[in-house]
Structure 1
Amino acid sequence: MRKVKIAASLLGLLLSGAAYGQQGRDIAAGQGIVPYRLEVTFSKTVHLIFPSAVKYVDLGSTDIIAGKSDGVENVVRVKAAVEGFSEETNFSVITSDGTFYSFIVVYADQPALLNINMDQWKAGEHPVAGGGGVQVAELGTEDPALVRKVMYTIYQRNRRDVKHIGSREFGMTALLRGIYVHRDLLFLHISLANASNVPFDVDFIRFRIVDKKVAKRTAQQETTIEPVRTYSALTRIEGQSSGRMVYAFGKITIPDDKFLEVEIYEKDGSRHQRFHIENADLVAARLIERLKK
């Protein structure tokens, strides 16, 4: 009877070992989370560009420093906190799309890569330097490279799709040439022409939402909005010349009793320009298609 019990115990151990071995094979076959192997050094920073915003970073030891890069949503910077550490360590990242990333980190005097596109690494491709779309906080999920391409397209096409908004004073003409939309971003194409022989130096350009019927404005009656990107910002318009600029904003909608006011101020001068954009004009924004390269 005792021999039978021993035999049964041995059989149980063998079965447990087989099950454990199968679990290990399952993990090795890709059913577990396989970590990426990353080289870091003390004197340089490695940047990881993720396909979506980073929500969580956890370090395995104090041998490394890792965290989100300032001002961007989907970039993590990593470097060695201790020069020449010998034991490998790890860190983990969770992104807003729910993806969990695990990294094994080793020290190298000269890391093979300093800028890594995680989209390529996830796809099994060799990660290359650069090439990833950095998600800047003020642009939300929009790729800055794509936003720049949209603005470049508006500038190069140089169409005048809006013909009723602008101002003309003191030999200066400011025109709103077009209002465009791409996903959640709004673009204003503005031109400034100088018909005089005196150069016009741009001090600043201000955008604010104001009440239509209030002559004397107060802080409670106006809201200043800032562009998230500017293409071909103008600082000076020579005499008998002109220039154009494109501004990108987050989504803007305004009530019917307000409008968007655009003010262009001259530095050390008084030839200021001002025009207004109605909500009806904003909601009639045109789509951008066939971007220029």
Structure 2
Amino acid sequence: VCYNKTTHIIFPAEICYVDLGNENLVAGLADGAKNVLRVKSAFKRFKTETNLSVITEDGSYYTFNVKFANEPLLLSIEMTDFLHDGEAVNRPNNAQEIYLEKLGSESPMLVKLIMKSIHKQNKREIKHIGSKRFGVQFLLKSIYANNGLLYFHTELKNTSNIPFDIDFVSFKVVDKKVIKRTAMQEQALEPLRAQNYVVVVPAKSSERTVFALEKFTIPDDKQLVIEVAEKEGGRHQSFVVENEDIVRAKVIDELSIR
């Protein structure tokens, strides 16, 4: 790094932790980009090598040795160019894996692989849960379970001529007796991860998303409502998932993930 120019490091996932070796470095997130780190020297020169460590949302841990240079070799570093799989290349020490607290004992890398595998295999294990109106269909295709997490595979089909702009997708546990009332007792469940989360479904097309949530079950007097709301529109879709659907979640064989 140097004093007069900024080095940008571009990571494949959102940055959630940064540690600077000493006061010789200054760093911060680039405005409007949560996966880009700006780094430069705090002084016009420093002699002693220092280090920089970064953890990203996908559980990857990166560590760098940092030296001063009047003209750094690279001012823009794309980390995906340095990450390789297999034995054909020398794998850098940017391959260590961090277990993030909100995923419990599950590896973030394994969660990502599971979600990609569910999305790729695209199996419809559930055929009785969904909603359809206004030329839009919202389906629950499958529920999988693995190591304390539940995976919900949904599909949104838009057969109309008007794009469907997604405002939000919500998971709520509500009382059965007041499901049709406007004021209902509800508990919101926040997805921990989402594979292929889209903001718009174009006309005459469909999109699928896999959501990962912390494992839960539902009391007999309650039910899970999954809703997708249209931004500045009225074609909202929602369907109900019973506890018996959740406890019948398919167990994932980690050996078959591809």
TM score, norm. by length of structure 1: 0.57
Cα 1:184–1:104, aligned 2, differ >3 Å: closer, same or farther?
same
Distance 2:163 2:94 in 1: 40
Please tell me the root mean square deviation across aligned C-alpha atoms, in Å.
Answer: 4.5
Report the structure number with the largest CA radius of gyration. Answer: 1
Distance 1:165 1:259 in 2: 13
Deviations 1:9-64 (A, max 9, x none): xxxxxxxxxxxxxxxxxxxxxxxxxxxxxxx76544789xxxxx98xx796x5334
- Whether contact under 8 Å (1:65, 1:78) holds in the other structure is yes
- Whether contact under 8 Å (1:41, 1:80) holds in the other structure is yes
Q: 2:214 aligns with which of 250, 256, 274?
A: 250
Match of 2:228 in 1: 264
- Whether contact under 8 Å (1:46, 1:79) holds in the other structure is no
Partner AA of 1:231 in structure 2: N
Match of 1:216 in 2: 181
1:1-293 aligned within 5 A:
43-44=6-7, 62-64=23-25, 80-86=41-47, 88=48, 107=68, 110=72, 128=92, 130-133=94-97, 138-140=102-104, 142-195=106-159, 197-204=160-167, 205-214=169-178, 215-218=180-183, 221-227=185-191, 228-233=193-198, 235-239=200-204, 241-289=205-253, 290-292=256-258
Cα 1:264–1:200, aligned 2, differ >3 Å: closer, same or farther?
farther
Bigger proportion of residues as helix:
1
Q: Percent identity among equivalent residues?
A: 34
Distance 2:207 2:52 in 1: 49
Partner AA of 1:277 in structure 2: V
Q: Which runs of 5+ in 1 are unaligned?
A: 1-39, 48-52, 94-102, 116-125
The Cα shift of 1:189 comes to: 0.9
Distance 1:140 1:129 in 2: 24
Distance 1:41 1:129 in 2: 24
- Whether contact under 8 Å (1:172, 1:192) holds in the other structure is yes
Count residues with an aligned counterpart: 225
| Other structure's SS at 2:23 match | coil
Partner AA of 1:264 in structure 2: V
- Whether contact under 8 Å (2:158, 2:201) holds in the other structure is no
Distance 2:175 2:210 in 1: 25
Partner AA of 1:203 in structure 2: I
- Whether contact under 8 Å (1:41, 1:111) holds in the other structure is no
Partner AA of 1:199 in structure 2: I
Distance 1:183 1:111 in 2: 44
Distance 2:66 2:97 in 1: 24
TM score, norm. by length of structure 2: 0.63
Greater mean alpha carbon deviation, residues 247-256 or residues 275-284:
247-256
The Cα shift of 1:186 comes to: 1.7
Deviations 1:60-119 (A, max 9, x none): x5334689xxx99xxx99864334223x377899xxxxxxxxx9976455489x87xxxx
| Other structure's SS at 2:218 match | coil
Partner AA of 2:203 in structure 1: E
Partner AA of 2:147 in structure 1: R
Q: Which runs of 5+ in 2 are unaligned?
A: 11-15, 29-33, 54-63, 80-89
